[in-house]
Amino acid sequence: MSTAPFGRRELTITGVQRLGAYTVLRADDADGPRGGWAPIPGQFAMLAAVERWGGGEGERPYLARAFSYARHTGGEAHFLLEDVGPGTRRLCELQAGERLWALGPLGRGFRVGGRDLDERRAILVGGGVGIAPLAILQDGLDGASSPHGEGEATVLLGFRDHARAEGAALMRGARVATDDGSVGHHGFVTELLAQELDRDAHATIYACGPAPMLEGVRALCERHGVPAQLALEAGMACGFGACFGCVVPRRGGGHLRVCVDGPVIDATELDHIDAHAGAPA
């Protein structure tokens, strides 16, 4: 597992890209990969604006927000954001030259290769902003160096509507489903996954998205006997296991903390994915 030094660092925004309803923040993180802690696909960082990070009377500070690394390349960290409230709105407002606090990479990422995974084809299943960790994963999987037997991964993405479906541009060669039928398949991305598994179930699934989608993926994979790794989305207060605000029930009893036991959790460790586990991160 790749982990950052205990302490946040200050990054400078180098660019901003709008993808429909989403914003991609690019930040200078040239010092980030040093010391062996470059992000593993599926890991996240706790982000906060350096300036005006608060709201209401007295500018009460917001908690830092958890975002998966969408990419880390050329000394830049990329994050995919959606404006869903005051904290994310402030982050989406950032422009090139402004500064960002980052603590990360944190958590456990996707495990690629090993055991019987090498010869299975990879299927990446994402929903909404949950496509972010799949982008950096796709970068590592595609091409001749892929540990999977069939080279390029199959990518299935689901969105609510046309504006959000523009986020598919973050990845390559994706099949898209939309709830309203405005782009691609009219329906859920799990319907596309069911078609793929009916055609060939010799696969490994890597998924991230809202809880209902992940529960659908988990149930499908259990039914077909297909291994799956699920990156859970959860609101986090700390990011390193201290607050227990992101716990989910574990199969057989007990709980898992999404921030340190995940966010990538093997589907066999979960009986069911509760709705709160899919809260925007």
For the segment 192-242, what is each residue's pLDDT rounded down to a tens digit? Answer: 999 999 999 999 999 999 999 999 999 999 999 999 999 998 878 888 778
Give dist(CA 103, CA 107) in Å, integer. 11
Give dist(CA 117, CA 243) in Å, integer. 34
Residue 148 has what pLDDT? 54
Residue 153 has what pLDDT? 93
Instruction: Please write the tens of the pLDDT for every residue from 40-53.
Output: 999 999 999 999 99
Fill in the amino acid letter for 9.
R
**pTM of the model as a whole:** 0.91
- What are 171's strand-pairing partners? none
Report all structural domains of the chain as residue ranges with CATH numbers, in order of start. Answer: 9-106 (2.40.30.10), 121-278 (3.40.50.80)
**CA atoms within a 13 Å half-sphere pointing along the CA-CB vector of 266:** 8
Residues of the chain with pLDDT under 50: 143-145, 149, 278-281
Q: Are the C-beta atoms of 110 and 86 separated by less than 8 Å?
A: no
